[in-house]
Amino acid sequence: MDVTAAPNGTLYAKWNKNSCVAEGTLITLADGSQVAVEDLTGEKLLLVWNLFTGTFDVAPILFIDSDPYTQYEIIHLFFSDGTEVKVISEHGFWDLDLNEYVFLRNDAAQYIGHWFNKQTQDGNGNMIWTAVQLVDVDIYTEYTTAWSPVTYGHLCYYVNGMLSMPGATEGLINIFEVDATTMQYDATSFAADIATYGLFIYEEFAEIIPIPEVIFEAFNGQYLKVSIGKGLITMDGLIALIERYADFFTEEDANIPDDQDDQNGHGNHNGQGNGNHHGHNNGNGNHNGHRRRGR
């Protein structure tokens, strides 16, 4: 499925869970501009990193989770270029040293000294990524709101320029080996994993966990058979995780166009290559298709 052409339904968050970032955090849109997370609407398309193509890409918002004003424990992250991010509970970031997403929680100080992926621009205004180092962590309480978007198909997005992943996605991510230079799934090991563990088809998966096909597709359910086979998640854990996310949705007007059933793959739509920390071969993807609205 083309992840920028999500089914033409209306999905919206119906309950909250505070594994997020604080209000005021800037989320990067498809055109490279930024908007405060509390000002996002489901009509926005977000900049994401596509691990299948090793390129910047765009994706619609699947839902926006939020929690109201109260006192939260803030995990305040400080990076070497001056970037700061306020995390609530946990949030994932791409760790270039470990070559995978890691969840930074109130023990985030253990990652001080690690390098993380950040989106930036080169001297010609082209979108690239660079490496920034986590240099300090401060933990305190603050009266604020909590927000956590999730993107269709990729799940990830950029917070204050940092490539990030929402909380409670363990078992859904870090499934396949990634080439550290290209930030793309290694084709040989990817094929070997699928040959070894196989893929779910929706009908098979729905017999185990009866969820709508749109949710199966949104979370790349076919690859969860690999995750289970590798021991990254148990079936009980998967059931709990999928049920958690299924509870986010009420589906209305789910009039899925016929052409959606025939679309597949993970290429970036009209993309122009990828960025890297040396500033070469960079670009962005354009979008078309239907959009989702989160709340």
pLDDT digits (tens, 9 = 90+) for 76-97: 999 999 999 999 999 999 999 9
CATH of the domain at 234: 2.170.16.10
Residue 272 domain flag: no
pTM of the model: 0.82
Q: Is residue 222, in this structure, part of any structural domain at all?
A: yes
Q: What is the total count of domains within the chain? A: 1
Unique residue bearing structure tokens 């890691």: 102
Q: Is residue 3 part of a domain?
A: no
Range(s) of the domain holding residue 240: 10-251
Distance CA 267, CA 146 (A): 32
Using alpha carbons, list the distances in angstroms from residue 60 to 46, 48, 63, 109, 152.
6, 10, 9, 33, 6
256 found inside a domain: no
Within a domain: 84: yes
Q: How confident is the model at residue 245 (pLDDT cuts 50, 70, 90)?
A: low
Q: Kindly state whether residue 133 falls inside one of the protein's structural domains.
A: yes
pLDDT digits (tens, 9 = 90+) for 264-291: 344 443 333 444 444 333 333 333 333 3
Given a contact cutoff of 8 angstroms between Cβ atoms, the answer to whether 25 and 240 are in contact is no
Domain presence at residue 225:
yes
Residue 100: C-alpha distances to residues 50, 58, 97, 177, 178 (Å): 13, 20, 8, 9, 8
Residue 276 lies inside a defined structural domain of this protein: no
- pLDDT tens readout for residues 56-74: 999 999 888 889 999 999 9
Measured between alpha carbons, how far is 111 from 224 in angstroms, rounded to an integer?
28
Percent of the chain with pLDDT over 90: 65
